Chains A and B, each alone.
Chain A
Amino acid sequence: MFLINCPYCGERDQSEFIAGGEAHIERPKQPTELSDDEWAEYLFMRKNIKGIQFERWNHAHGCRKWFNMIRDTSNDEIKLIYKMGEKPPKG
């Protein structure tokens, strides 16, 4: 059970949150211009790595805000939490 530091509410138990899959996958601005393959890339393709993963989480049972999390999936260590719209750190 993680202890997640919601960027708005502070540290809360994981049971207050839901995970929302990979972060930084932006919805294409002009979907109709895309080929089937390009659209499928957006729609279906997600990373699932052992190691550093960029994820979206939602404080569903708290402030209901979405935010980004960098998590090491090999040991569940949360490396960084940052707000929606903020860019991931380099490196």
Chain B
Amino acid sequence: MLNYTSPIKELKKYTGLTVGEISPLMKLNLRGKSRDFLTAIGKNINIILPIEANTSSSSENYTAIWLSPDEWMVVSNNIDSKDNNDYEIEELLFNKISKTNLGSVTNVTDQLVMINLSGEKIFDLLSTGCPFDFNDFKSKKGSSTQTLLAQIDVIIHHNKINSVNLFVRRSFSEHLMSWINDSASRL
């Protein structure tokens, strides 16, 4: 039996900001260009992949984030089990999409760490290290972007009011978290 160890251990609270990792969450990277690809995704997991740049869509169980004109990330809305890493929809979609050459389905569950930032100071924190203009992003629930935070690639998803999810490659996550804690301590 293999034990589960996520890279970020603590939930940190600051004035106006709480920072912590949420895991395990299944994450799938989906790529495809054709209409059939989009239809197959919709049919099989009941979610419409967003076509508009910098947006996301959600169903009860999953959230789909636009990454590029032919790339999306689907994330579980609910915590998955640590005891096994068989994800039902991974196999389903791999069979329906990849094996039929409609596109690609790749498990990136542990490729990306999801850090949740909540509180009214989120964008003050982000402004200390992110060149992205959050003025429109702030006002739209579900908006998403890929950009740099402290020079590290991140995907930022505005999942609800005063809350964003930050996706970062696992190997960078400790450094980024340390940077966030440092910056947040001065908010």
Q: Are B146 and A65 in contact (CB under 8 A)?
A: no
Interface residues of A in 30-83 (CB under 8 A from B): 61-65
User: At the interface, yes or no: B68 with Cβ under 8 Å from chain A?
Assistant: yes
Q: For the complex, what is the distance from the CA of A31 to the CA of B147, rounded to whole Å?
A: 38
Q: For the complex, what is the distance from the CA of A15 to the CA of B148, rounded to whole Å?
A: 8
User: At the interface, yes or no: B71 with Cβ under 8 Å from chain A?
Assistant: yes
Q: For the complex, what is the distance from the CA of A16 to the CA of B151, rounded to whole Å?
A: 9
Q: Are B68 and A65 in contact (CB under 8 A)?
A: yes
Interface residues of B in 43-62 (CB under 8 A from A): 53-54
Q: For the complex, what is the distance from the CA of A65 to the CA of B133, rounded to whole Å?
A: 20
A2 CB, min distance to chain B CBs, angstroms: 11
Q: Are B147 and A63 in contact (CB under 8 A)?
A: no
Q: Indicate whether A61 sits within 8 Å of B148 (C-beta atoms), given known contacts A13-B131, A13-B132, A15-B131.
A: yes
Q: Are A63 and B67 in contact (CB under 8 A)?
A: yes
Q: Indicate whether A62 sits within 8 Å of B69 (C-beta atoms), given known contacts A9-B54, A13-B132.
A: no
Which residues of A have CB within 8 Å of B132?
12-13
Which residues of A have CB within 8 Å of B68?
8, 62-65
Contacts A13-B132, A64-B68 known; 9 new A-B pairs at CB < 8 A: A9-B53, A10-B53, A12-B132, A61-B146, A61-B148, A62-B147, A63-B67, A65-B68, A65-B69
Q: Indicate whether A63 sits within 8 Å of B131 (C-beta atoms), given known contacts A9-B53, A16-B148.
A: no
B55 CB, min distance to chain A CBs, angstroms: 11
Contact-residue bracket for chain A: 10 to 19
Q: Which residues of A contact B (CB under 8 A)?
A: 8-13, 15-16, 61-65
Q: Are A12 and B54 in contact (CB under 8 A)?
A: no
User: At the interface, yes or no: B91 with Cβ under 8 Å from chain A?
Assistant: no
16 interchain pairs, CB-CB under 8 A: A9-B54, A11-B133, A12-B131, A12-B147, A13-B131, A15-B131, A15-B148, A16-B131, A61-B148, A62-B146, A62-B147, A63-B53, A63-B67, A63-B71, A64-B68, A65-B69
B124 CB, min distance to chain A CBs, angstroms: 18
Q: For the complex, what is the distance from the CA of A62 to the CA of B53, rounded to whole Å?
A: 11
Q: For the complex, what is the distance from the CA of A19 to the CA of B53, rounded to whole Å?
A: 22
Residue of B nearest to A63 (CB): B68
User: At the interface, yes or no: B153 with Cβ under 8 Å from chain A?
Assistant: yes
Q: Which 7 interchain pairs have the tightest Cβ spacing?
A: A63-B68, A13-B131, A62-B146, A61-B148, A61-B153, A9-B53, A15-B131
Which residues of A have CB within 8 Å of B147?
12, 16, 61-62
Q: For the complex, what is the distance from the CA of A11 to the CA of B145, rounded to whole Å?
A: 12
A6 CB, min distance to chain B CBs, angstroms: 9
Residue of A nearest to B133 (CB): A11
